[in-house]
Structure 1
Amino acid sequence: MANSMKIRAKSKNGVANIKVLITHPMEGGGRKDSKTGEPIPAHFIQEVVFDINGSTAMTANLSGGVSKNPYLNVKAAANPGDKLKVSWVDNKGESDSIEADIK
């Protein structure tokens, strides 16, 4: 899923406000297709990792209960110019990552 994320990260007084929008269906697996009646298989992000300057700052474990196209807002210790990498992996093995400089 290339280009599945949009990211903004700004630091003030040593604290970065990181905003990430992920394009993902986030299907929990409990619904049925309205046309066929067949169950829609689960397809959701399991883990999102926030790395700052190569060190993990936070790991979020998600589930099928999170809505489509999740928006995450995280605060972490960081300064302007620090390197941020956000990556995710879902229950089907798909993944994506994005890198940015913290402003």
Structure 2
Amino acid sequence: MADPMRIRASANGDVVEVKILMRHDMETGQRKDAAGKVIPAHYIKTLTAKCKDKLVLDAQFGPSVSKDPFLSFKFKGGAKGDKVAVTWVDTKGDTRTDEGTIS
């Protein structure tokens, strides 16, 4: 299991801004190790974010996303104290879900 995501969410009026730092190696499948063998692809494929059981973000990543990706997005409909749950699934089927509270 990967390290926890850092999730910061803040409300400004009726708009909530969410910032996420994900810990993941994001291997493209094109690099080689010291022995010259190709390192298999291993990257986040999908990411979803929900607030009050409502889907507010549905993203699909590819191998070109950098290691430890940072993502920022805004949505309407959240309020201070609500939870934002973020879930990702990678190419090996590993999954991670973390929550942040809107401040």
Letter in 2 for 1:73: S
Match of 1:80 in 2: 80
Contact 1:12 1:79 in 2 (8 A): no
Match of 2:24 in 1: 24
Matches within 5 A, 1:1-103: 1-33=1-33, 35-77=34-76, 78-103=78-103
Unaligned runs of 5+ in 1: none
- 1:55 Cα offset (Å): 1.1
Q: Secondary structure, in 3 states, of the residue corresponding to 1:10? A: strand
CA separation in 2, counterparts of 1:84 and 1:64? 26
Give the structure-1-normalised TM-score: 0.94
Count of residue pairs the alignment pairs up: 102
Give the structure-2-normalised TM-score: 0.94
Contact 1:46 1:63 in 2 (8 A): yes
- 1:2 Cα offset (Å): 4.8
Q: Secondary structure, in 3 states, of the residue corresponding to 1:16? A: strand
Q: 1:2 to 1:24 in 2, by over 3 A?
A: closer
CA separation in 2, counterparts of 1:86 and 1:66? 18
Q: Deviating runs (4+, > 4 A) in structure 1? A: none
Sequence identity percentage: 39
CA separation in 2, counterparts of 1:61 and 1:13? 29
Q: CA RMSD in A?
A: 1.0
